[in-house]
Amino acid sequence: MCGITGVLYADRHRTPDKAVLKAMGDAIAHRGPDGEGFFKANNVGLVHRRLAIIDLAGGNQPIANEDESVQVVFNGEIYNYPELKQQLESRGHIFRTNSDTEVLVHLYEEHGRGLVKHLRGMFAFALWDARRGELLLARDHLGQKPLFIYRDNEKLLFGSELKAILAHPNVDRSIAPEAIEDYLTFGVIPGERSIFARVKRLPAAHTLVVSTNHFNMSAERYWQLSFDNEVTASNDEWKQRIDDQVRESVKTHLIADVPVGAFLSGGLDSSAIVASLADVVSEPLQTFSIGFQEKRYSELPYAEEVARHFGTNHREAIVTPDAVRDLDELVYFYDEPFADASAIPTMAVARMASQHVKVCLSGDGGDEAFGGYARYSHDLKEAAIRDRLPWLFRNMALRPLSVVWPKADWLPRPLRLKTLLQNLSADPAGAYANTLSACRRQMRSRLLNRPFRRLLGGHRPETFVEDAFRTGHRDALSGMLAADTNFLLPDDFLTKVDRASMAYGLEVRPPLIDVQLMELAASMPSRLKIRNGSKKWILKQVFQSRLPSKLAHRRKQGFELPVDAWLRGPLREQVEHVVLRKDAPIAEYINSDYANGIYKSHCNQTGRFGQVLWSLLMLGRWLEAYGTTSTGNDRTSFNNPVSTNVLCASGT
């Protein structure tokens, strides 16, 4: 696991400045504290920051092929590299290292840009082919590793994080208006767009090839998770297939020349990973958990039970309300506005784990693969009702009613019908986009101020989710899983874990997001994922006999934080200063009077606006820190705030 960055100039006679390359690499030094490497020739420069995991002595990058005409910098792990190396050696390729990175240059010699189709792992890499004068950029199948790209008429910059790109002295920092609305809608910025108009993400499962002669080429998709081919088999056969594939994936993800531990939340997914590890690891496994002072949010008792059951060397920590008073680290390491509040405990557990291991396995991906979120069951019930209602009734009666029905959180639950009416009046894709929206269109029309709304034109953030939903058109659950796999997984959950872990030089590997396991799960009938209201039914069947009694079937809790209460208490001063002041940077985008209104309602508990207010707070903090406006003018400079501030109290 590492950080990569670099530059390609359109002018083939313009040589990159070593000092600029150094600054770009230094900006992401936290991703690779074990070393740095450079390659510079003609109009290209590659930079690598290394976190040494495999081939500690010989794996320094950039790495080249035999005649050094191909150079690569790589972030990630290739889990099938031993098999690939053996195949390539049998074809006459000569290896100088035992690193998985070197496989890339020789595989490129055999397959060109098609090399990505042979890789099993998490990766983002930049490969320079001197003979062709081409730069190949690539990102893994499911978007586990990030890659940002900046282009203007004179240069292309790339980097594992935006910080690396912003370290270049000539970068347009104009904010993309659409990104602001996307962010307020979902709490993250989805898809190819970034907060800066000139910077794009390379999407998951895409490659981009550029050269001086073809400088504005578009990225191309090389893989798509398909839900089209449902496989017929008995329940017992499916249980065996899932069991075998999870075991194999966990074993494959253990490849390392350093100690490997595991995150343990106490939920089914991380507990299943620990149970699988117990079958293949001989020494006591190191596990790490995080909890909260507010007991109803804490899963520590369940994590402790699993740790005792498998005899792990277990460590845990508590996130206190004080953890959210200073959000500088969160703003700095995430680069963009990011409103998933569980980033706070994720950073805390990553910091703790990094003091003991360099690699941790996690349970991420189980919900998207096997149907684990509560909203899936809820939306399936809505879908069943929608199918029974005539389209004309939904369009002519329910749609107008959904507009006028109040968002009244103070009403008894049976009367809180606004979301239900909205979802029943929409098509399935639109309904799920509405479910995922933290700030819906009607609220955004009041929250965003009029001058800023004019910049947006007819932009609809929901379109991104709707398009992703339709790729899983087999049934309603497949549509939801497809949307989450294409959107929430790479742009929220995997982003959260990548930034949190790499902030402390920790590599996190999620075996349940292995491409072979995800493809197997996508071919499974939906009835085995959610069965009679039971979520992740097949996974529970596989692991219930190996886990502590009743743990497999307990209610999913998730990494929730008491944000609603914190916004009324420890965060109140920040909200008032960063969000509600009419001269705050965020006032360029929002209606401060309306924001004040919903904050008062939240504090009086006549409305629940915690997610929207948290999103506004993180946007306001980001705008203050990064010091740019919608026109790209700088307000301030932003420096690394990393310090010895304690996010949590630890214990064993």
- In this model, does residue 332 exceed pLDDT 80? yes
Average pLDDT, the chain: 90
Count of C-beta atoms within a 10 Å radius of residue 302:
24
Please write the tens of the pLDDT for every residue from 54-77. Answer: 888 888 999 999 999 999 999 999
Question: Between the CA of residue 249 and those of 245, 254, 350, 511, 517, what are the distances in Å?
Answer: 6, 9, 22, 6, 7
> What type of residue sits at position 575?
V
Sign of CA dihedral 491, 297, 292, 617: positive
**Is-contact 574 311, C-beta < 8 A?**
no
Which distant-in-sequence residues (6+ apart) come within 8 Å of 55 by Cβ? 97, 98, 99, 100, 257
Return the closest-CA partner of residue 269 out of 466, 493, 77.
493
2 is catalytic: yes
Mean pLDDT to the nearest integer, 192-217: 96
Please write the tens of the pLDDT for every residue from 558-588. Answer: 556 788 888 998 899 999 999 999 999 999 9
Question: Domain boundaries in the chain?
Answer: 2-221, 235-371+481-543, 375-480, 563-651
Mean pLDDT to the nearest integer, 414-433: 82
d(CA 235, CA 205): 31
Please write the tens of the pLDDT for every residue from 336-355. Answer: 999 999 999 999 999 999 99
Six-digit token string for 271 = 């507990």
Please write the tens of the pLDDT for every residue from 610-636. Answer: 999 999 999 999 999 986 554 444 443
**Triad 60, 66, 67: Cα angle to 5°:** 110
d(CA 390, CA 322): 52
**CATH fold group of domain 235-371+481-543:** Rossmann fold (3.40.50)
d(CA 389, CA 650): 54
- The helix (run of H) or strand (run of E) holding residue 244 is helix 235-252
Count of C-beta atoms within a 10 Å radius of residue 500:
25
> What type of residue sits at position 70?
V
User: Residues annotated in the binding site, as ranges?
Assistant: 100, 290, 362-363
pTM: 0.93
Question: Between the CA of residue 436 and those of 439, 466, 467, 475, 536, what are the distances in Å?
Answer: 9, 11, 14, 18, 20
Q: Which CATH number fits domain 2-221: 2.60.40.10, 3.60.20.10, 3.40.50.720, 3.40.50.300?
A: 3.60.20.10
User: Residues annotated in the binding site for ATP, as ranges?
Assistant: 290, 362-363
Place 426 in a pLDDT band, splitting at 50, 70 and 90.
Answer: confident
Q: Go through 242-255 and write b for each residue having 16 or more CB atoms within 10 A of its CB, e for each that does not.
A: bbebbbebbbbbeb
Sign of CA dihedral 494, 500, 503, 508: negative
Which distant-in-sequence residues (6+ apart) come within 8 Å of 202 by Cβ? 124, 137, 138, 139, 147, 148, 149, 158, 192, 208, 219
**pLDDT at res. 398:** 82
The DSSP bridge pattern shows strands 134-139 and 206-211 to be antiparallel
Query: Residue for token digits 């050269």?
Result: 211
What is the longest distance spanned by two Cα atoms in the chain?
A: 73
d(CA 54, CA 256): 5
**Is-contact 150 198, C-beta < 8 A?**
yes
Mean pLDDT to the nearest integer, 382-402: 84
